[in-house]
Structure 1
Amino acid sequence: MVFIFFCVSGVLGPMSRHPSLTTRENAPEATRSLEKDVLRLGRTLSRYPGAVIVVGNDWPLCYDFRNLREAGHGFGRRVVNVLNTVGSTKEQAVLDFRANRHDPFVILASQDFEFSHRTASSRIDVDQQRGFDETARAALEVHLRGFGACATDTLSDDDILRATVGTYALRKARDIKSPIRANEDAAFQRRLAEMLFDVKREER
C-alpha cells in the first residue's frame, strides 16, 4: 500500500478554501478549481491499485467523509482517510499520521502550505497556478514505479481497514491484540479493564 497525501490548495465542488492555520503568511487566497487536478490524479492512479489517498486540506473540518468522496469523485473510492490539521502544520499532521505506519508515501503539496526539508524526499511541490500538471504527474509516477508491488498490488479488505482507522485507534488495537489471545482469562480481564479505563480517561 502507498499513501498519497493530497495537500493541494484550492476549491473542489462545493468545498471552498477555508482559512487555515497551516497556510504561509501573506499567501494569496487559493480559489483555483481542483476539478482537473482530481481527474488527472485519478487517471494516474488507475494503474496503481495499491495507492490510496489521504486528504490533507481543511475540508474535513467542515464536510463529512461522504461529501468529501462525492466532491472528489475523480478519485473513485481511493479516499481512505483525512489528516488532523487542527493545531499543527500539514507537514506535522502527515508525520503524526505516519507515526505507527510504515507504508511508503508521497505528499502532493501546494507551496502555500508549510512544508520543510523533513519531507523533501517524499514531496512533490504543486504550483499554485498550474496545479497538479504534467510535470507533477510525471514525478508522481516515478515515485509509484519505484515502490513496485506496494503500488501495483490490489489491496485486501484488511489493508483498506488499516488505512481507514485513525492512528489512535490503530495504537489501541495493537495494545489489545496480544492480551486478547492470552490463555489465562483472569489476566486478560484485568488488562482489558485497565485499557478501557485508560481510553475513558483520555476521552474526557
Structure 2
Amino acid sequence: MIRLHHLEKSRSHRILWLLETLELDYELVEYPRNSDGLAPESLKRVHPLGASPVITDGEQTLAESGAIIEYLLARYGEGRCQPEADDTAGWVNYRYWLHYAEGSLMPLLVMQLVFGQLPAQSPWPVRPVAKGINKAVNQRFLAPRLKQHLAMIETHLDRHDEFAPGWPSGADIQMSFPLQALALSRSLDDYPGIAAFIRRIEEDAAWQRVVERAGPVSLPG
C-alpha cells in the first residue's frame, strides 16, 4: 500500500493529483501544522527532514516532489502522464519543467513568502526596519525576477496549453502547485495562459477528487 504523508497547506496536493490520475490505491496520512506554522515532529519519524510530501511504498520511503513523481510513473505509470517515447521535443519540455518548478520558480516564491512574513515575525521596535527590508528585496530583486519567469511560462503555455504532452504530464503536475499558489496571492489578468492552465486543472476529474479528499490548495498563514 502506498501511503502519502500529507502536511496541510503544503506541496503534497500535486502528489495526490498524480495518485488520483493513475487511479492507484493509497492511504492518505494527514498532518496538521503546529501553531507556529511548522510541520509536527511526528513527520520526522517518517523522514528526518520532516518535510512533505513523503511517500512510503512497502519498504521504500521517498521525499521530494520531483523524485516522487518520477518514481510513481516509472513503477506504476505504464506510459501514462508522459510524452510518447519518440517525442523528443515533448521529452525535452517534460524534463525541463519537471525540474524548473522546484529548481528555479519555487525558491522565488518561498523567498517572497519569508520576506513577506518578516515584519509580523519581528519584535515591534524593529518592524519598520523589517518592512523596509521586505519592500526593498521585493522591489529590487524578487518582483522583477518573478515577472521575467512568469513571462517565460506564459509564452510557453500560449504556444502549447500544457507543459508537456500526456495530460496531465508529470511536468504539469509538478508545475501545478507554484502556479496555483501564485493565483492565491495575485491577479493573473496579465497572464491568460497561466489562468487557463489553472482552470484546466480545476476542471480535471482527478483533481476534483483531490479537493474532495484534502480540500483546495492553500498557503501557510
Fold in common (TM above 0.5): no
- Higher fraction of helix: 2
TM-score normalized by structure 1? 0.27
TM-score relative to the length of structure 2 = 0.26
